[in-house]
Structure 1
Amino acid sequence: MFLELRNLHVKYGNVEALHGIDIRVDEGEIVTILGANGAGKTTTLMSISGLVKPSEGGVFFRDEPLHKLHSHEVVARGITQSPEGRRVFGTLSVLENLYLGAFTCRDKARVERTLGWIFELFPRLEERRGQLAGTLSGGEQQMLAIGRALMGDPKVLLLDEPSLGLAPILVKSIFDTVRTINQSGVTVVLVEQNARAALKLATRGYVMEVGRVVMEDSAASLLANPEVQAAYLGGGGE
């Protein structure tokens, strides 16, 4: 098994955020996780990243228990995250932000190769390489957040709400780039409030409600599902 969450429970104090979820991600897939605010989607990604620890169950990558590792060790295994809200370092330059994403990599030549690839994916970042990240537009900051995650040369990229707050034309550009990243060999786990765009991009999807997985299917089947349409797609139709 490539990446698997098994009977994962997560608590914040006495409040249980995840109630025994099971999710699997196969190598090469784009898997999307859908759900309303508070469903547990971000907690799921943070559990994979090692930023929150389960109270029961676990996260396994190629059968290694990730939940027993520190978050920087998870990054070193090839799992990186672009967080909700971008979280770029505003007082550092674009280039400095990107290099921070490569903190686990000791091979300088490899880092520079990865940087070159990111500049191919996001030419705007190369144009702005010396600019302070805090002065970038929202779309440019999202490109930077994804680029920073890619600097870790991941096998799995976790994306938390990459289209949030962006104009439709930028959303299309970001999603096209995610497809390109996936086609390069990176497995993607996508949490996204734009359910229609996410399902058109993904291989498979999971629907979460209040800390539980309530539906799992191929992305095409979820896109056509009347319940999913009513809840997340504005009643269906194109």
Structure 2
Amino acid sequence: MLLEIVDLYVKYGNIEVLHGINLKVREGEIVTILGANGAGKSTTLLSISGLVKPSSGAIYFNKNSVHKMAAHAIVKQGIAQVPEGRRVFGTLTVQENMNLGAFVCADPARAKKTQEWIYELFPVLAERRQQLSGTLSGGEQQMLAIGRALMSQPKILLLDEPSLGLAPLLVKTIFQTLREINASGVTIVLVEQNARAALKLAHRGYVLELGNIVLEDSSEALMANPRVQAAYLGGEATRS
């Protein structure tokens, strides 16, 4: 098992937002976490990344306990996150943002090879590498946020709402690229409001409601589940 969350509880002050969740991700999978706003999806990703510390429970990555590690040490373990809202450094160029993503890579030749691969995935970033990131479109910023995370050469990529605010055609492009990234050997955990697109992309999924995992199944089974259809798919099953 590449990633395992065991009985995880998380609080913000006195408010408990995750109530003992359990989640597993195997190497090579794409796993999606579905849920309404406030369900605890982003908190789950932030906990894995070390940006939010659990009140109890454990997180294991490659069988190593990571829930007490600092966030930068977790990146060095092979976990990278693409945050909600992209959070690119707008006053830095595309290339400078990419360079920041490579802070854990001690091998310049390997970093350069990774960068070339990312620019192949997102040719528009190569064209704009000297452009200030704040002047990019929303879709281009999302590509940059993904590219910057990939510069750390992660084993697992966490994505928080990558389709947020993007036109449908751009969403389709980014999700196709995520499939390519996964095919290259990167495991993906995807938090996404667009449940239809997420389930088409993912192998398996979890449904999180009010800090509890209420469903876990293959993507196909979740698509066919009446509860999922009613809550997240507009009442209709989706066929690929």
Report the TM range for the smaller structure's normalisation: over 0.9
2:30 match: 30
Q: Which runs of 4+ in 1 moved over 6 A?
A: none
Deviation string, structure 1 residues 126-185 (Cα, Å, up to 9, x no partner): 000000000000000000000000000000000000000000000000000000000000
Distance (whole Å) between structure 2 residues aligned to residue 191 and residue 9 of structure 1: 19
Secondary structure of 1:60's counterpart equals strand
Q: Percent sequence identity over matched residues?
A: 70
Please list, as runs of the form range in 1=range in 2, the aligned pairs for 1:105-116 lying within 5 A after superposition.
105-116=105-116
Distance (whole Å) between structure 2 residues aligned to residue 155 and residue 169 of structure 1: 28
2:94 match: 94
Indicate the RMSD between aligned Cα atoms, in angstroms. Answer: 0.6
Secondary structure of 2:67's counterpart equals helix
Deviation string, structure 1 residues 102-149 (Cα, Å, up to 9, x no partner): 111111111100000000000000000000000000000000000000
Distance (whole Å) between structure 1 residues aligned to residue 236 and residue 97 of structure 2: 40
The amino acid of 1:11's aligned partner reads K
1:236 CA drift (Å): 1.0
Q: Which runs of 5+ in 2 are unaligned?
A: none
Does residue 85 of the first structure (1) align with residue 85 of the second (2)?
yes
1:3 CA drift (Å): 0.4
Distance (whole Å) between structure 1 residues aligned to residue 221 and residue 9 of structure 2: 27
1:6 match: 6
Does residue 232 of the first structure (1) align with residue 232 of the second (2)?
yes
Q: Is the 8 A contact 2:31 2:203 kept in 1?
A: yes
2:18 match: 18
1:58 match: 58
Q: Is the 8 A contact 2:97 2:148 kept in 1?
A: yes
Q: Is the 8 A contact 2:39 2:208 kept in 1?
A: yes
Instruction: Count residues in correspondence.
Output: 238
1:237 CA drift (Å): 4.2
2:48 match: 48
1:212 match: 212
Secondary structure of 2:193's counterpart equals coil
1:194 match: 194
**TM (normalized to structure 2)?**
0.98
Deviation string, structure 1 residues 173-212 (Cα, Å, up to 9, x no partner): 0000000000000000000000000000000000000111
Secondary structure of 1:59's counterpart equals strand
Distance (whole Å) between structure 2 residues aligned to residue 237 and residue 105 of structure 1: 44
Secondary structure of 1:67's counterpart equals coil
Distance (whole Å) between structure 1 residues aligned to residue 136 and residue 2 of structure 2: 36
